[in-house]
Amino acid sequence: MPEITRDEVAHLANLARIDLSDAELDHLAPQLSVILESVASISGVAGDDVPPTSHALPLTNVFREDVVVPGLTPEQALSGAPEVEEQRFSVPRILGEEA
């Protein structure tokens, strides 16, 4: 049965940019284990004839033709941006990485 350790939860939280206190980690790590176990119980029910799936719909090949559809104006696109400069989204500088 899958079990998730406190360290793994801390690692995932960091990757997801979620700041968790020690107390929160103590609280959440066991809960996540229970959730994973519950989800894993599904594989116990599914027989060998039921392949794993990532979609609820039995569909493939849903395509769009290569035709331009009007999108947003720059004003609309930028309307939710905290800061705008030169018709671009202004974001804080990124430390430690280069594009």
Binding region for other proteins (CB under 8 A): 11-12, 14-17, 54-55, 57, 59-74, 77-78, 85-94, 96-99
CB of 31 to other proteins, least distance (A): 19
The distance of closest approach from Cβ of residue 18 to other proteins in the complex, given in angstroms and rounded to an integer, is 11
- Check: CB of residue 25 under 8 Å from CB of residue 9: yes
**Could you give the C-alpha distances from 91 to 9, 15, 19, 94, in angstroms and in order?**
28, 20, 20, 8
CB of 12 to other proteins, least distance (A): 8
Q: Which is nearer to other proteins, 23 or 63 (CB)?
A: 63
